[in-house]
Amino acid sequence: MISTHVLDTSTGRPAAGLKVSLEALSAGNGWTQVAWGTTDDDGRIRELLPMGGTLDQRRYRMVFDTLAYFQRRGVKAFYPVVVVVFEIAEPADHHHVPLLLSPFGYSTYRGS
């Protein structure tokens, strides 16, 4: 399971309506999109895999479309896209990847 929660630290509110793509690294084929979603009113995507989808032991990345999010709010931002790359070692575990976002910075960590 992969989930995310995006908080806009410039407003102290969840980042609702932010598009997120989940991509997997394939040997020789580069990155391939395996799922996508849009954050809900609480800034969450509770499950970022297609129904019945599974994870493998490999490298994944989440691509957050921050440009569209900030443009809708009429805010100029420095980072048009935030890309978070991570390794899945235990596919059966819950992998929560939160993003703290502002127009001029971001941070992330392995959540629970």
Domain ranges of the chain: 2-108
The two three-digit tokens of residue 16, written as one number = 């609702």
Please tell me the pTM assigned to this model.
Answer: 0.94
Tens-digit pLDDT profile for residues 96-106: 999 999 999 99
Tens-digit pLDDT profile for residues 26-41: 888 899 999 999 999 9
The two three-digit tokens of residue 4, written as one number = 């995310």
Tell me which of 2.30.30.180, 2.60.120.10, 2.40.128.720, 2.60.40.180 is the CATH number of domain 2-108: 2.60.40.180
Whole-angstrom distance, CA of residue 79 vs CA of residue 53:
30
Tens-digit pLDDT profile for residues 74-83: 999 999 999 9
